[in-house]
Amino acid sequence: MLDHIVRELAVIHNRAKQRGFSGEDARAIAAQLRTAAVRSTQIGIDASAKEGVHVLIRNRGRQAVLSLEIDRAKTKAHMKRYGIDVDERWLAAGAVDEATRRKALDALTNDGVTGVLTHTAGVFEKIGSALDARAGSFARVRYAQSDPLVWLICTELLSEIAMIFVQLGPICEASAIVPGLDIVCAALEASLSAYFAMYWVLCGGF
């Protein structure tokens, strides 16, 4: 089921990239992520994910895990399998500060994967409501600062991109030692890709 959810996220992602993001698109992403969170709870993925991350911390040290970066080649190849063409510029979008890294890792170890998915769904719901307030789909907005609402959306997107960017590293690394986490890695990659695509379309890139 999680595999199907990632493929559905890919469909929404690619459609919105072509015609601009609407509130409906954001809510559709949120719905898929909430379904993924429910399914993750049903199969008990949080215990496996937390254990995998704690094993990484024990073996490598917390600072090394905090510093993990996304494997760009693997991420692009992984997403390509699901039909998402990841722009290289997205994965080179700048460094994440230490405080954000600590906050992101704490959220992952405390709330688990379901917490991350539920939080991300909430962000897309919120963005969907904001997009609705602008009566439908945005085309490319190259001057986000000229619209206070768009500026707020773009600021929140940057913050969320940084958080999930950090959380992806430990989860995807742990998928090599904990069975079943590979699809969770893909779900978070798809979420990150949706964030990036939305930022690129609404806010004019990085």
Secondary structure string (H, E, C) spanning 147-202:
CHHHHHHHHHHHHHHHHHHHHHHHHHHHCCCCCCHHHHHHHHHHHHHHHHHHHHHH
Q: In the numeric block, which tokens belong to residue 87? A: 């722009």
Range of the domain at 159: 2-203
Query: How many domains, in total, are found in the chain?
Result: 1
- Whether the predicted pLDDT of 38 surpasses 50: yes
Q: Mean per-residue pLDDT for 167-188? A: 86
User: Looking at residues 177-190, what average pLDDT do you find?
Assistant: 84
| CA neighbor of 167 nearest in space, from 114, 121, 105, 111 | 105
- Percent of the chain beyond pLDDT 90? 26
Residue 174 contacts by C-beta under 8 Å, 6 or more apart in sequence? 49, 52, 53, 55, 56, 181
Largest Cα–Cα distance of the chain, in whole Å? 51
Greatest mean pLDDT among 15-19, 90-94, 171-175 lies in: 171-175
Q: In this predicted model, what pLDDT tens digit does every residue of 64-98 receive, in sequence order?
A: 999 888 888 888 888 888 888 777 666 665 678 89
pLDDT band at 61 (very low <50, low <70, confident <90, very high): very high
- Both tokens of 93, joined, read 């979008």
List, for residues 101-117, the tens digit of each pLDDT value: 999 999 999 998 999 99
Helices (H) and strands (E) in the chain — how many of each?
9, 0
Cα(121)–Cα(126) distance, rounded to whole angstroms?
9
CA R_g for the chain: 16
Average pLDDT value for the chain: 83
Cβ–Cβ under 8 Å, residues 68 and 173: yes
Give the model confidence (pLDDT) of 159-169 as tens digits. 998 999 899 99
The mean pLDDT of 33-53, rounded to a whole number, is 89
Please state, in angstroms and as integers, the Cα–Cα distance from residue 106 to each residue in 98, 111, 170, following that order: 12, 8, 12
